[in-house]
Structure 1
């Protein structure tokens, strides 16, 4: 049943039935494949089929039915593995927001797999590139030879781990990494598996992750994304993957073979090791760009529905829908105010949980997802949808709570049930250990889960995702080795990336063999790791920081698919790296051993009526409680925090069995004495030192209350008392 408006290669005719308007996408039923495509403004939708190589068109069918703005039809006899693409007819009226061009082959937004690579060329654009009328012109060249093809999948898989891991939030330790970067130089991964899900699933990879003590691995984007020409022209690539075009499909570059079961097997192995899988997802924009961008999928299916367009008509009352709202900095913004677009995103999320068994999501530029036409709304459609959804509300939801639009910075304003990246933790902890003045009050907030931002509406301390480093920015080793970014390899004359890093090179920029500088850098790394992992809230560790991975000062390695971004496992075997790894394991173990370090309630410093003790007490080096004058003194750089384990961790009566923990922070360059305090009513109890970051090897020692402990400059101490 070929369409007269498009002449396919001769083929045997396809049978065609009415089919159903749901589920959307291509669904194999056992008898054939049902196709359903949403478009509110199209006049006709075709499905075109291709040979196994994806190069020869075998024929097209026109979807015969249109129900509730969904075009649908059923093709009997089609099997999983069928290659296809869409051609959507409709008005080409950019001034009205419509950019239909049936000469352009389009990716199905609901495709579960793709094959082939996108090859950039002017044929991919709905308008004629270089035409004096710009995007108002119309291009009639066929884009199919340049496009990847969608693939019908068979979703059946035999899981060995049928129960979700579901680590409680207050026991969660996140570990952010990259499928390719983590495995490309891993000695335990066969060469042909490096950079793939199959490589990441190996026991040689997962056993050390589990032994480190982390609970949940957060993977940078693995949904299908594109490399933009401005990178490929420079011999670079979109390494991080923040340019998603297929929200249901795996990116082929991470697959050792063509079968999506490879990802399922990886998740299955993670779960067998007791590890959660968290996906970093990008639903805020697509690589179709602005009015001058290519036509690859959404723009050609229903541009006016899928994207937020500028208000007005272009006749003096506003720019008009020819142009795109750009709150993402990428040229366009996905329109989650539209019910079908909102459905697509939530359908995608449910697919990854229900079908692929992932355990949660980290949402890139999540403020975008919470925007309505009037701006950020914590009661907006997307956030409400997740909160009431029985599938999505049961997994971890983590927001990156900012974008570049008006009112885009929203740390602490996401609704209950959400956790949020807390960049204030990163900035304030770095600044304190760098030695900046006036940072003691800010550090105190960080140590207690930033209750000034998160302690409302019944939210819990775990809502604050604490981090010192992430994929975007310096690694831990670079934070203590560089004052300035060194992004020359990115080809942008070192203009890209943040310049305000609150880093400190400890006296020498970059690589050095100065023993004193190296010792100070090692101590600063221990200070930062201990602060991160022993603070209230949910810690996130950047993969490689546990043994001092460097990116040679590059703080924006988004385009570096090479040794800059790949973890150097050979270097991880050096003596300093092994020592830092042992320290990291030790600190994570302390977090697990002492419940007072991961309370499920915010600490307020108020007196508990049952015990007559404070849950948290701030101490001067003299062992006395800090007064307002100490907090207001910008020179305060040394203080203690006593967490009283005998104060219940919930509002219900419970046995007081938790140990108390004392932490001491000294950001002064020089050493000073700290008087060991008496613990609550147990006047005779001693304190056991479990951490002194001035020591290369952690050894326990016991001290009585009143002892004057000499705290090394720029160091942190941790004691416990039963």
Structure 2
């Protein structure tokens, strides 16, 4: 049974090492601090109280080769028990992200509660401070506790003697004495004693940064307790905190209800309460409600003078959209720029939502707090009395527009999360694209019947068919680093709302309905709402555990519509009845390019992130998937609809939020075949170089078409088909598509094949889910050209992706190409049945030689950094590209450029013609890859020249 985490209380934070000599309770037998200060070694933490561990450390600001100062907790010696904090919310989770010191370099005290998993990282200038005074004989019996950054506190009782006084000491030998000669509230070294004004138990506070101090007489109180009661907590009892000198405080957030107001209550039973009849800041017994407008406030109450104060506080972050759950209350918020008539309906009750204060571009937000434990309750919003679902919703009842309140804690897999495998450079990635259903729906997958085509089917271990590995083990054996999943959010087709729905309906999923909810068809039980999210997290975690990162295909460019054709074959778009996603909230979500149309995506409804709150929605969604769900990157469908500046903003934000994650972000640098008057502002090959510093890349269509020609039929075969028309694109594409000159501040031609300012911006590929898959393209071309030789057709496949896998940049493979997957000639299988799209694992058994070739090329690439240089300069300085004949292209790579490759020189030959003799540079060369058989020639040594076989990649090296 899991227990809910809660934050460390001030009284817990105040505990110091030492304490009673009895055993303390703990859930861990040991706990280590591991981070950059100690080279990620194990530094034991001390159990100082029940479940509370402590260590002190200093961050020097140097970090390490992989980033800034940071750390994790670890219950083990090998990181198998590591705890981090992906969300940076003060609660650690197994496998979470690195934790960063909040105030930069300096000395910190670190506390960890092994019961709640809460932790505190507190900056200090002193390692210890004592209060020494007449009350304790000026000894060391009153140590102060570090309760906040630079803030120390202790309580000490004084008798009322006129000579009562004290000083501070941050040593144990008076060398660190601090007093206040001028009695101005600031201490100085060796300053005078500080007098105590009257008898009492004093809370003494010192700031070791500003040297300011304060005294609060904790004995000066007339009430034992004061409760805050108001509309924000349903008039329940919220205890206020006593801070001394008759003063009680509380911080509250009124998010907007009808006539927000409050009172003070002495006993919590209304027998003695205080309000304000005159609205003059002085409360009276039995007084009237105190009214406030929506805002966050710091409220004080003096139980001697009955004065109170209400001070607006500047919230660091505006209220979050969607729902924010806690067992005590849930906050609901929605953006509504067109109307103030906004309501929440939850569990049959309707609440009026009130507008929140605008915060810069964060505007027109309406919110409400509803008290009680609302987990799994159904809700929706009403905008001008029209039902709309939550654009930020985390769960929905299948086939409806009704959202579900989710407790994120209950979606965590048992045993906690598993961190992604290391990725040093983005160019180290090898991406494999796959559809969740395609991968395991066929019985030959070996996956259990109830998991086929689902998240858990993706990661069922040990599956095989006909003696060959399938599913997860296939991915492991192949050696790729990243799995790119076609859309896994909740999409509109294949649901009960789809007029064409059938139980065996199929769709790729490029019709988003709920951006932040996992697709129901991929869950074992879509009505197990927490389980639906948990299964997705389990899939990601198990992929992580086996060395695979996860990229999510996102479709923020448009929303779901029904597509039909008129009598003339023209596309018509319409929303299903009652299914307008955003338009019943506001049309401001959409990009209007003609009256009544919203069409840059080619689907009639493109999204417009030039509206700040729409851009924020996309950014928040990306943050949710990367943070809470744990994906490792995003492939943007039609990223070319967006301004490159907007995309750069999202990427920069994610880099700031997850600086150690090396997230991959890339997309299609085109729109949905629409004329766009703002072409120069959009993501294109010509503009992508402007945002290289944000690590955003794009697909390289120039290399794709140069290799294979036409995408949808057998015509126009490219270089892999022995045609030379676009050999230039092969040359520059194999160099990572880098620009002729490094020009990070200028554009190039819109579709220039030399577009990247960093090789990580270039995603090289031959085929993807769109268009004919590679084998079907080969078959169509062969049929058109009278080619029947099966061996030759297979060689085209290995040659085409052999170029991709030996090129600079990031290689991308469409799933199944490694065993000649076919979709039976369907060039647009987005809604074709399983019979077309499914992985038939018999094809792997039939084409193990092809699989072995891909496997060996991937292994070679990953073993040798010479194939994956990291900068424009490295490629320019260390790769010589030339064509010794009209059909041959050579890349001579100086592999030892960064002193990391065991191959000092690498010689890559692409030959689309007949067998050709190619002259080699001087010296002996070892043959690594030759012909279509990766093992043939391994270990052979040649010099002078080599016969490079046609329609093949040849790789040689010198040690």
**Deviation of 1:412 (Å):** 4.6
Does structure 1 residue 460 correspond to structure 2 residue 780?
Answer: no
Does structure 1 residue 201 correspond to structure 2 residue 459?
Answer: yes
Residues 107, 296 of structure 1: 8 Å contact kept: no
Residues 383, 584 of structure 2: 8 Å contact kept: yes
Deviation digits for residues 435-475 of structure 1 (CA, Å, limit 9, x no counterpart): 22333322111111111389542932121000111011222
Does structure 1 residue 272 correspond to structure 2 residue 569?
Answer: no
Aligned twin of 1:482: 780
Deviation digits for residues 165-186 of structure 1 (CA, Å, limit 9, x no counterpart): 3522121100111111111125
Task: Report the Cα distance in structure 2 between the residues aligned to 1:61 and 1:361, rounded to whole angstroms.
Answer: 37
Task: Report the Cα distance in structure 2 between the residues aligned to 1:713 and 1:382, rounded to whole angstroms.
Answer: 42
Residues 579, 696 of structure 1: 8 Å contact kept: no
**Deviation of 1:583 (Å):** 0.9
Correspondence list, 1:552-563, <5 A:
552-563=824-835
| TM norm structure 2 | 0.57
Aligned twin of 1:386: 651
Task: Report the Cα distance in structure 1 between the residues aligned to 2:370 and 2:561, rounded to whole angstroms.
Answer: 30
Task: Report the Cα distance in structure 2 between the residues aligned to 1:530 and 1:306, rounded to whole angstroms.
Answer: 43
Task: Report the Cα distance in structure 1 between the residues aligned to 2:397 and 2:501, rounded to whole angstroms.
Answer: 23
Aligned twin of 1:340: 613
Correspondence list, 1:24-103, <5 A:
24-49=321-346, 58-64=348-354, 66-68=356-358, 69-89=364-384, 102=385
Residues 231, 559 of structure 1: 8 Å contact kept: no
Ranges of 4+ aligned residues in structure 1 off by more than 6 Å? 14-17, 228-231, 233-236, 603-606
Taking structure 1 as reference, are residues 86 and 478 closer, same or farther at Cα in structure 2, changes over 3 Å only?
same
**Deviation of 1:402 (Å):** 0.9
1:433 paired residue among 717, 720, 731: 720
Aligned twin of 1:691: 929
Aligned twin of 1:189: 447
Task: Report the Cα distance in structure 1 between the residues aligned to 2:737 and 2:342, rounded to whole angstroms.
Answer: 51
Task: Report the Cα distance in structure 2 between the residues aligned to 1:112 and 1:593, rounded to whole angstroms.
Answer: 41
Residues 255, 369 of structure 2: 8 Å contact kept: yes
Give the unaligned 5+ runs of structure 2. 1-231, 236-253, 257-317, 359-363, 463-470, 563-571, 709-717, 745-755
Task: Report the Cα distance in structure 2 between the residues aligned to 1:23 and 1:253, rounded to whole angstroms.
Answer: 29
**Deviation of 1:330 (Å):** 0.7
Task: Report the Cα distance in structure 1 between the residues aligned to 2:937 and 2:517, rounded to whole angstroms.
Answer: 49
Residues 36, 71 of structure 1: 8 Å contact kept: yes
Residues 255, 356 of structure 2: 8 Å contact kept: no
**Deviation of 1:686 (Å):** 1.4
**Deviation of 1:343 (Å):** 1.2
Taking structure 1 as reference, are residues 66 and 253 closer, same or farther at Cα in structure 2, changes over 3 Å only?
same
**Deviation of 1:164 (Å):** 3.7
Residues 109, 297 of structure 1: 8 Å contact kept: no
**Deviation of 1:546 (Å):** 0.8
Correspondence list, 1:456-605, <5 A:
456-457=743-744, 459-483=757-781, 504-505=782-783, 507-508=785-786, 514=788, 517-574=789-846, 577-602=847-872
Task: Report the Cα distance in structure 1 between the residues aligned to 2:901 and 2:648, rounded to whole angstroms.
Answer: 38
Q: Which has the higher contact order (CA 8 A, sep 6+)?
A: 1
Deviation digits for residues 151-200 of structure 1 (CA, Å, limit 9, x no counterpart): 11110125644534352212110011111111112533110111111111
Task: Report the Cα distance in structure 2 between the residues aligned to 1:367 and 1:233, rounded to whole angstroms.
Answer: 31
Does structure 1 residue 719 correspond to structure 2 residue 956?
Answer: yes
Partner SS state of residue 717, structure 1: strand
Deviation digits for residues 5-44 of structure 1 (CA, Å, limit 9, x no counterpart): xxxxxxxxx9979647722112211113221111011231
Deviation digits for residues 39-84 of structure 1 (CA, Å, limit 9, x no counterpart): 011231222345xxxxxxx343332555432221122224221112
Deviation digits for residues 257-314 of structure 1 (CA, Å, limit 9, x no counterpart): 222111111111111112111100011111258995355354444323211235xxxx
Partner SS state of residue 287, structure 1: coil
Taking structure 1 as reference, are residues 84 and 454 closer, same or farther at Cα in structure 2, changes over 3 Å only?
farther
Residues 688, 700 of structure 1: 8 Å contact kept: yes
Q: Which has the larger radius of gyration?
A: 2
Which one is further off, 24-33 or 233-242? 233-242
1:665 paired residue among 898, 907, 910: 910
Aligned twin of 1:163: 419
**Deviation of 1:245 (Å):** 1.8
Task: Report the Cα distance in structure 2 between the residues aligned to 1:182 and 1:76, rounded to whole angstroms.
Answer: 44
**Deviation of 1:541 (Å):** 0.9
Partner SS state of residue 354, structure 1: helix
Aligned twin of 1:413: 687
Residues 451, 461 of structure 1: 8 Å contact kept: yes
Task: Report the Cα distance in structure 2 between the residues aligned to 1:543 and 1:598, rounded to whole angstroms.
Answer: 22
Residues 401, 420 of structure 1: 8 Å contact kept: yes
Partner SS state of residue 882, structure 2: strand
Task: Report the Cα distance in structure 2 between the residues aligned to 1:349 and 1:656, rounded to whole angstroms.
Answer: 35
Aligned twin of 1:353: 626
> Size of the alignment, in residue pairs?
581
**Deviation of 1:523 (Å):** 1.0
Taking structure 1 as reference, are residues 46 and 300 closer, same or farther at Cα in structure 2, changes over 3 Å only?
farther
| TM norm structure 1 | 0.75
Taking structure 1 as reference, are residues 605 and 201 closer, same or farther at Cα in structure 2, changes over 3 Å only?
closer
Aligned twin of 1:678: 921
Alpha carbon RMSD of aligned pairs, Å? 2.9
Which one is further off, 395-404 or 355-364? 395-404
Taking structure 1 as reference, are residues 713 and 223 closer, same or farther at Cα in structure 2, changes over 3 Å only?
same
Task: Report the Cα distance in structure 2 between the residues aligned to 1:362 and 1:116, rounded to whole angstroms.
Answer: 26
Task: Report the Cα distance in structure 1 between the residues aligned to 2:324 and 2:883, rounded to whole angstroms.
Answer: 63
Task: Report the Cα distance in structure 1 between the residues aligned to 2:900 and 2:839, rounded to whole angstroms.
Answer: 45
Q: Which structure has more helix as a fraction of its residues?
A: 1
Partner SS state of residue 105, structure 1: strand
Taking structure 1 as reference, are residues 702 and 561 closer, same or farther at Cα in structure 2, changes over 3 Å only?
same
Does structure 1 residue 397 correspond to structure 2 residue 661?
Answer: no
Partner SS state of residue 567, structure 1: coil
Partner SS state of residue 115, structure 1: coil
**Deviation of 1:637 (Å):** 1.3
Give the unaligned 5+ runs of structure 1. 1-13, 51-57, 90-101, 118-146, 311-318, 371-377, 484-503, 609-613, 622-635, 680-684
Partner SS state of residue 833, structure 2: coil
Task: Report the Cα distance in structure 2 between the residues aligned to 1:546 and 1:238, rounded to whole angstroms.
Answer: 24
Aligned twin of 1:489: none
Task: Report the Cα distance in structure 2 between the residues aligned to 1:570 and 1:43, rounded to whole angstroms.
Answer: 60
Taking structure 1 as reference, are residues 674 and 217 closer, same or farther at Cα in structure 2, changes over 3 Å only?
same
Aligned twin of 2:186: none
Which one is further off, 522-531 or 179-188? 179-188
Task: Report the Cα distance in structure 2 between the residues aligned to 1:233 and 1:245, rounded to whole angstroms.
Answer: 15
Residues 609, 642 of structure 2: 8 Å contact kept: yes
Task: Report the Cα distance in structure 1 between the residues aligned to 2:446 and 2:669, rounded to whole angstroms.
Answer: 37
**Deviation of 1:506 (Å):** 7.9
Task: Report the Cα distance in structure 1 between the residues aligned to 2:900 and 2:514, rounded to whole angstroms.
Answer: 52
Which one is further off, 408-417 or 527-536? 408-417
Task: Report the Cα distance in structure 2 between the residues aligned to 1:193 and 1:28, rounded to whole angstroms.
Answer: 30
Partner SS state of residue 388, structure 2: coil
